[in-house]
């Protein structure tokens, strides 16, 4: 009896061979145990990944630099139309870059790299030159057409690069009423002293501004108007998002009227469906841009030539490939505006209905 009790006590004091929270292992089955890499191995792996990323970045920087030096910057045009008439009123010049292998890079893919490599000033200057050439040809038949040209924050903040652009714009200031310079919303929200002075210099020469890449509807129309802003582009999805009514100080349906009081026109961009157009008309949005109307299409080389003689024939391909088609400068589709815009919008609204 005593021996049996001692054996039982001894058995109770030992842990079970197969606890309930562990699966049993049959004979011949091996348990796989995850072994954490040694610190040295982890460091080597991280270093290898960093080196690969650095090589990829260096390759992209070299590709962008080569493209700039070899003038492999292409201009694509996307129209902005009146609503609901859908008549072309403006064009936005969209920049694309062809790398060493002929692969087309969108602006979002190379702008950040170009800014970091100090190339953005040269890109902006080259794009401005092309945009002015495009605008001159468009205005041969219609004086009311306008072109939007994107400018980076890096150019505004670099005195050397900005001075070069300013000299060019000064020489072409006669086109200022039709040549709109476009900046990101983030640029206007983080203006330093240098950037503010650069904007003032442009405004003094008669140039007007547009804001795009809008991420929220918290805007100060009076302040923007004082700085020379005459257009604001807002994604259609953002305007029609019901959550924006509580996230901003004004309901989206009232935004167009509010901006109009200060001479600023609202443009709904990235419109992709007919339903969005119907809803935007209820918001009194009078300009639209997006794939529903036309994708950005590359400009044919002869279309941007300032010395090409007579204006190009009005041709724009509407084939199934969309943005893959080329487009000549299309003068005939640019209609005179049914309403005043920019500074004239303020005067029109102040006068009230006829």
Does 30 fall in a domain?
no
CB 295 within 8 A of CB 322: yes
**CB atoms inside a 10 Å sphere around CB 166:** 17
pLDDT at 152: 94
pTM of this structure: 0.73
pLDDT at 250: 84
pLDDT at 31: 56
Most confident of 34-38, 115-119, 320-324: 115-119
For residue 256, pLDDT beyond 50: yes
Does 320 fall in a domain?
yes
CATH of the domain at 196: 3.20.20.450
Domain total for the chain? 1
Helix (H, G, I), strand (E, B) or coil at 146: strand
pLDDT at 38: 63
Question: Cis before residue 181, ω within 30 degrees of 0?
Answer: no
Give 37-81 pLDDT, tens digit per residue: 566 666 656 655 555 556 677 888 888 899 989 999 999 999 999
**Chain-wide mean pLDDT for the chain?**
79
Full residue range of the structural domain in which residue 132 is found: 59-351
Find, among 255, 270, 277, the residue nearest to 94 by Cα. Answer: 270
Task: State how far the Cα of 288 lies from the Cα of 82, in Å rounded to an integer.
Answer: 6
Does 282 fall in a domain?
yes
Does 157 fall in a domain?
yes
Give 285-300 pLDDT, tens digit per residue: 999 999 999 999 998 6
For residue 224, pLDDT beyond 60: yes
**CB atoms inside a 10 Å sphere around CB 253:** 16
Does 28 fall in a domain?
no
pLDDT at 339: 41
């Amino acid at each position: 009896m005593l021996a049996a009790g001692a054996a039982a006590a001894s058995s109770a004091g030992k842990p079970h061979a197969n606890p309930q929270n562990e699966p049993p292992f049959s004979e011949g089955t091996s348990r796989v145990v995850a072994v954490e890499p040694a610190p040295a191995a982890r460091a080597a792996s991280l270093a290898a990944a960093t080196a690969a990323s650095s090589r990829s970045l260096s390759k992209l920087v070299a590709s962008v630099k080569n493209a700039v030096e070899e003038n492999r910057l292409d201009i694509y045009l996307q129209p902005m139309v009146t609503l609901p008439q859908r008549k072309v009123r403006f064009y936005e010049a969209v920049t694309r870059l062809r790398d060493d292998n002929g692969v087309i890079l969108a602006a979002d893919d190379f702008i950040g790299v170009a800014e970091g490599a100090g190339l953005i000033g040269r890109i902006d200057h080259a794009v401005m030159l092309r945009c002015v050439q495009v605008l001159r040809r468009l205005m041969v038949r219609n004086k009311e057409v306008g072109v939007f040209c994107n400018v980076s924050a890096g150019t505004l903040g670099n005195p050397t690069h900005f001075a070069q652009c300013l000299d060019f714009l000064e020489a072409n200031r006669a086109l200022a009423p039709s040549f709109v310079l476009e900046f990101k919303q983030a640029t206007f929200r983080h203006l330093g002293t240098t950037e503010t002075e650069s904007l003032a210099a442009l405004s003094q020469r008669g140039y007007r501004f547009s804001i795009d890449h809008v991420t929220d509807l918290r805007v100060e129309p009076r302040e923007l108007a004082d700085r020379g802003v005459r257009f604001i582009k807002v994604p259609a999805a953002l305007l029609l998002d019901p959550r924006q009514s509580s996230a901003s100080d004004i309901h989206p349906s009232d935004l167009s009227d509010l901006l109009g009081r200060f001479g600023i026109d609202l443009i709904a961009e990235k419109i992709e469906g007919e339903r969005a157009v119907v809803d935007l008309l209820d918001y009194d949005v009078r300009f639209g841009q997006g794939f529903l109307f036309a994708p950005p299409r590359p400009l044919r080389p002869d279309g941007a030539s300032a010395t090409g003689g007579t204006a190009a024939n009005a041709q724009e391909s509407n084939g199934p490939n969309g943005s893959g088609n080329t487009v000549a400068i299309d003068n005939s589709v640019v209609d005179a505006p049914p309403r005043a815009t920019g500074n004239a919008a303020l005067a029109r609204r102040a006068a009230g209905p006829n």
